[in-house]
Amino acid sequence: MAWRLDWSKETNILTAMLLWPVWSLILLLIPVDAADKGDDVRAGCSTAVNDLVYIVDGSWSVGFADFETAKQWLINITSQFDISSHYTQVAVIQYSDNPRLEIPLGKQQSAADLIRAIKGITYMGGNTQTGRAIRFAVDHVFSTSQRASPVKNRIAVVVTDGKSQDDIVDSSMEARAQSITVFAVGVGDEIANSELVSIANKPSTAYVLYAEDYTTIDRIRDSMEQKLCEESVCPTRIPVASRDEKGFELMVGMNIETKAKKIPGSLVSQTAFALNTSTDITEKTSEIFPEGLPPSYVFVATIRLKGIAPTLNFDLWRVLSKKKEIQAAVTLNGKDKSVTFTTTSVSKREQRIVFQGFQALYDGMWHQLKLLVRPSQVTSFLDDQQIQEVLLEPAEPIYINGKTQVAKRRGTDVTVPMEIQKLRLYCDPHQSEKETACEIFSVVKTFNL
């Protein structure tokens, strides 16, 4: 701007004072303008607000070469996060007899700086005092976090290849007492399972990871990334059987259970809910998915389409931006008996995948529709039968300042009357294998035969 003032020149101060009314007007206008552009709020793993502390074994058993590999692995698993004081801050502790703070929390304010700093860490060598290192992280590293807004997730990742020579139980308990989530990554066969289980949060199936050795640690990169991301964007847990699974219980979150009429479900033991044209299932996305969607998830819906519903095309579930652009949607196309999955795309406005072969979904009976969404593919299932797997292009984080809706005609706010028994989004893609359609009569029948 040509009239921008040069504040460094004293002579201009007078001009600045004269222009003050103009300045205050501009300042007043800025927030209004920003609010209008509210659509710019995308959320996903990259924008998660994490304090992430890596606690890395630097004892003699690791060796120089494998220590270098461990460093590279840390760099790799960090790549999905936006490193800054607004989003993810990273610290690294190397330990053997004593812990050494290699990178203080939040010191590096960009990914490039962080990568350089991790590469610069030199191997210590020594004994393995894992308990002491965890205590050091709890007492001296997490507590030094400095942020403008409070941190949402405090996560520690302990990477070790040997049995600890000190007690790890007390310090791990202390970490949990301070709401720090601890992952334990065991490398090699020297490490005792019981020790990793004590270090990590429960359930250990979710928080303990193994690699055969450092040369194959890259194989657990995807699962570590997914787990770190789940931890960042999936704060809620859904009780499933005797386990707690991370995910979003949309029957509750979307207020379906309070807004719709209760009806008998697919089996005597089940309850379902009937939506009519005046039931509006709409919530703010920022309240349902405050941190966006994880890169992998399982969408599960147990539904019955009767009356006109099986003949209509409508969004069973959709996330809209403020400008009503689809960020994620599962669309039922009654006209041609297909199902469409829509997601974002980094190169196009959106990507739409049409799955054929869903005739049965429209037959007026209860059915379970499941979509297993992964970063590079999406797989559809009907009543436990795989229908089709299709490749996806990279998706973008979703806009979270629009609305999330259920059972709406495409492009309108009109509700389609339908019956819903289950509507969930699990964050762990492995939940896809565990989530069987055992509430569907035909599936139970086949199972019992």
- Tell me the window of 274-282, 320-328, 337-345, 396-404 that interacts with ligand NAG (CB under 6 A): 274-282
Site string for ligand NAG, 379-418 (x = CB under 6 A): ----------------------------------------
**Alpha carbons 201 and 176: distance in angstroms, whole number:** 7
Instruction: Find the binder of ligand NAG among 19, 63, 76, 360 (CB under 6 A).
Output: 76
Q: In a 3-state reduction of DSSP, which class is residue 427?
A: coil
User: Distance (Å, rounded) from C-alpha 184 to C-alpha 202?
Assistant: 11
- Bridge-based pairing state of the strands 50-57 and 89-95: parallel
CB of 264 to ligand NAG, least distance (A): 15
Pick between residue 258 and residue 448 the one whose CB is nearest to ligand NAG: 258
Residue (of 327, 341, 325, 309) closest to 409 by Cα position? 309
- CA distance linking residue 35 with residue 28, whole number of Å: 12
User: Looking at beta carbons only, is 217 or 400 nearer to ligand NAG?
Assistant: 217
Site residues for ligand NAG, 164-203, by CB under 6 A, read none
Interface with ligand NAG, residue 80, by CB under 6 A: no
Q: How far is the CB of 258 from ligand NAG (least distance, A)?
A: 9
Q: Supply the minimum distance, in Å, between the C-beta of residue 125 and ligand NAG.
A: 20
* CA dihedral over 336, 340, 346, 349, signed as positive or negative: positive
| CA separation for the pair 161, 77 (Å, rounded) | 18
Query: Smallest gap, in angstroms, from Cβ of residue 261 to ligand NAG?
Result: 3
**Shortest distance in whole angstroms from residue 228 CB to ligand NAG:** 14
What is the C-alpha to C-alpha distance for residues 228 and 39, in angstroms, rounded to an integer? 26
> Distance between CA 259 and CA 280 in Å, rounded?
8
> Cβ 257 to ligand NAG, closest distance in Å?
11
List the beta bridge partners of residue 132: none
Q: Which of 217, 272, 312, 407 binds ligand NAG (CB under 6 A)?
A: 217
The reply to whether 278 sits near ligand NAG by the rule CB under 6 A is yes
- Beta strand 351-355 with 366-373 is unpaired
Residues forming the site for ligand NAG (CB under 6 A): 69, 72-73, 76, 217-218, 221, 260-261, 276, 278-279
